[in-house]
């Protein structure tokens, strides 16, 4: 499909849409909102739903049209979605726990996936006024507010003591095993897909995700990392792929900039 050679044609519209969703989220963020529980016990707020509805409607106005898979969408059977060559993959509010805690570390994630690979990604952190965006072959960028976007690159050589980002909400024994093998590091807890973006901009060297995530959690920032020169791989070094399985859970993965370091070696024997 010729358009896929130029996903950047859609980038400006998607950035604007993510920011519009961010404004809707912030309107609720400043109020006394309620918190419901989904079937998997994860939190759900009016902000998740408002962002979802706005993004789905906005993507529906773009040409060409592609199916939309959002965290807050009704489930689509794999028998149907496996036929999709290109589709939008959306997390309307990534880091709902951070939203509820009001620490600002939540994002809007919008990715365009083509043949199982993210070819466009926008990550917008409305409370921080930050937007990260990328499209295949065009590089990755970071924009603060209305300032001129700045091109970002992952750090190609990690220092002896690497900066490692991890989840504020998810720590398990396998993660502790990985970190003990890694040795001395500077560990920074960060919420949502901002962890991948910090690797993309060279502010961190490694994000080991030894725990469960869903495909909409990672796709947009995955594109940003790749276009910034970094890597997102499973624990065997293979690329993360999207919409290739019945379920929508990612395997455990690593995000890094320095491809000369043996990050994968520390994951030996860890399954996921």
pLDDT tens per residue across span 43-63: 899 999 999 999 999 999 999
C-alpha–C-alpha distance, residues 82 and 230, integer Å = 28
Mean pLDDT, the chain, integer: 94
DSSP string, the chain: -GGGG-GGGGHHHHHHHHHHHHHHHHHHHTS----EE-TTS-EE-HHHHHHHHHHHHHHTTSSS---EEETTSPP--HHHHTT-SEEEEEEEEE-HHHHHHT-S--EEEEEEEETTEEEEEEEEETTTTEEEEEETTS-EEEEETTSPPEEE---SS--SS-EEEEESS---HHHHHHHHHH-S-EEEEE-TTHHHHHHHTTS-SEEEE-S--BHHHHHHHHHHHHHTT-EEEETTSPBP-SS-SSS-BPPPEEEES-TTS-GGGGGTT---
Q: In the prediction, which pLDDT does 169 show?
A: 64
Strands 186-190 and 253-256: unpaired
Would the pLDDT of 153 be above 50?
yes
Tell me the mean pLDDT in the region 166-172. Answer: 77
pLDDT band of 5, cuts 50, 70, 90? low
Q: Judge if pTM exceeds 0.85.
A: yes
Report the pLDDT value the prediction gives residue 2, as an integer from 0 to 100: 37
Quote the CA–CA distance of 166 and 189 in Å, as a whole number.
Answer: 5
- Is pLDDT of 174 > 50? yes
Q: Any idea which residue has 């880091």 for tokens?
A: 95
Distances (CA, A) of 243 to 69, 77, 112, 115, 139: 10, 11, 12, 9, 24
**Looking at residues 72-81, what average pLDDT do you find?**
94
The pLDDT tens digits of the residues spanning 181-223 come to 999 999 999 999 999 999 999 999 999 999 999 999 999 999 9
What pLDDT, in 10s, does the model give residues 224-233? 999 999 999 9
Contacts of 45 (CB under 8 A, 6+ apart): 28, 33, 34, 35, 36, 93, 96, 99, 100
């Amino acid at each position: 499909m010729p358009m896929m050679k130029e996903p950047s044609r859609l980038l400006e519209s998607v950035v604007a849409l993510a920011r519009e969703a961010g404004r809707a989220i912030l309107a609720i963020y400043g109020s006394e909102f309620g918190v419901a529980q989904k079937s998997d016990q994860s939190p759900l707020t009016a902000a998740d739903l408002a962002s979802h509805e706005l993004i789905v409607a906005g993507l529906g106005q773009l040409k060409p049209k592609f199916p939309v898979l959002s965290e807050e969408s009704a489930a689509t059977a794999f028998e149907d979605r496996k036929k999709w060559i290109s589709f939008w993959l959306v997390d309307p509010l990534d880091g709902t726990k951070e939203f509820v805690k009001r620490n600002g570390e939540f994002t809007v994630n919008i990715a365009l996936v083509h043949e199982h690979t993210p070819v466009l990604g926008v990550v917008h952190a409305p409370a921080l006024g930050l937007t990260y965006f990328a499209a295949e072959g065009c590089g990755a960028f970071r924009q603060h507010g209305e300032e001129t976007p700045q091109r970002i690159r992952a750090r190609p050589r990690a220092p002896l003591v690497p900066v490692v980002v991890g989840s504020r909400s998810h720590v398990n024994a396998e993660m502790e095993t990985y970190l003990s093998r890694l040795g001395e590091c500077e560990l920074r807890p960060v919420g949502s897909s901002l962890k991948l973006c910090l690797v993309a901009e060279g502010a961190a060297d490694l994000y080991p995700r030894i725990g469960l995530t869903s495909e909409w959690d990672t796709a947009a920032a995955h594109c940003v990392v790749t276009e910034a020169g970094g890597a997102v791989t499973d624990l065997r070094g293979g690329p993360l792929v999207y919409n290739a399985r019945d379920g929508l859970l990612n395997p455990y993965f690593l995000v890094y900039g320095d491809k000369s370091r043996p990050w994968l070696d520390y994951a030996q024997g860890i399954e996921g």
